[in-house]
Structure formats: C-alpha cells, structure tokens
Amino acid sequence: MKSFQDYRDLEVWKLAMAIAQEVYRLTQDFPRDELYGLTSQMRRAAVSIPANIAEGWGRRYTAEFIQFLRQANGSRTELETLLILSSEIHLCPPEAAQPILDNLQVIGKQLNSLERSLQRKKNSP
C-alpha cells in the first residue's frame, strides 16, 4: 500500500468530495418541499462519505480506520439508493444521476480495496 501523509492525498477521499459537491448542485433544483426530506438526506449521506474517510484516518488504530471506511461505504449505498429513488420519482433526470451513480460504484471499489489493504497490514506480523 502506498504511504500517504494526509487523508486528502487519498483518491477515494478526493472522489467522495467531488461527489458531495455534485449532490449539492443536483439537489439545488429539487422542490422546496423536499428541503427537509430527500434533499437533506442526500446531502447528509454525500457529506458522510468523505467525512468518515477523514475521521477514520485521524483515528489511532487501524481497526478504527476500517470501521469508519465501512461507515463510509454504508453512506455510499444509502446515497446510491436515494439517487435512484430521486430519479424514479422524477426529482432529477436519469442522465444527471447516472454519472454520480457511476462514481459511487468506483468509490465502493476503492473503499473495499483500501479496507482489504488495511486488514492485511493489521494482520501481518
């Protein structure tokens, strides 16, 4: 595993930040009556992904970092579901949601890869 000096060097964190920004832009056009519904829930889930990566990085133990990566992955799948729902109920066009959904799949693979790498590091003598 490549050694990083800061969580901001992690590609998964960078992509998660970009997705959070995209979700904020996308939800700006949602109806006002969704402000405390899907808009808020999608934004919180989107922000939770990079925030959990960063918080896990700041923890002292590898096991804690792994736990926060799992939480980030949970937020990722939550956001994915909310995006699909938003598209299906016509709050956003599918062509606006699809690039975000594609990047969420990439993040899922990156999170899983990072977790596996940390597990190996944790389990090595």
For residue 1, tell me if it sits in a domain: no
Q: What is the pLDDT of residues 22-50, one digit of tens each?
A: 999 999 999 999 999 999 999 999 999 99
For residue 15, tell me if it sits in a domain: yes
Tell the burial category of 89 from Cβ atoms under 10 Å away from its Cβ (0-12, 13-18, 19+). exposed
Tell me how many domains the chain contains: 1
For residue 108, tell me if it sits in a domain: yes
CATH number at residue 95: 1.20.1440.60
DSSP letters, 44-61, are HHHHHHHHHHHHHHHSSS
Residue with token string 């133990």: 61
For residue 90, tell me if it sits in a domain: yes
Give backbone dihedrals phi and psi of 69, rounded to 5 degrees, phi first.
-65, -35
Name the pTM for this structure: 0.93
5, pLDDT greater than 90: no
Q: Which two tokens stand for residue 15?
A: 């992509």
Element (H, E) at 30: none
For residue 2, tell me if it sits in a domain: no
2, pLDDT greater than 60: no
Q: What is the pLDDT of residues 44-87, one digit of tens each?
A: 999 999 999 999 999 989 999 999 999 999 999 999 999 999 99
89, pLDDT greater than 60: yes
Distance CA 84, CA 75 (A): 14
Q: Which two tokens stand for residue 86?
A: 């938003």
Position 53 scores a pLDDT of 98
Find how far residue 34's CA is from the centre of its chain. 21
Q: Containing domain of residue 113, as a range? A: 7-123
Position 121 scores a pLDDT of 84
Position 125 scores a pLDDT of 67
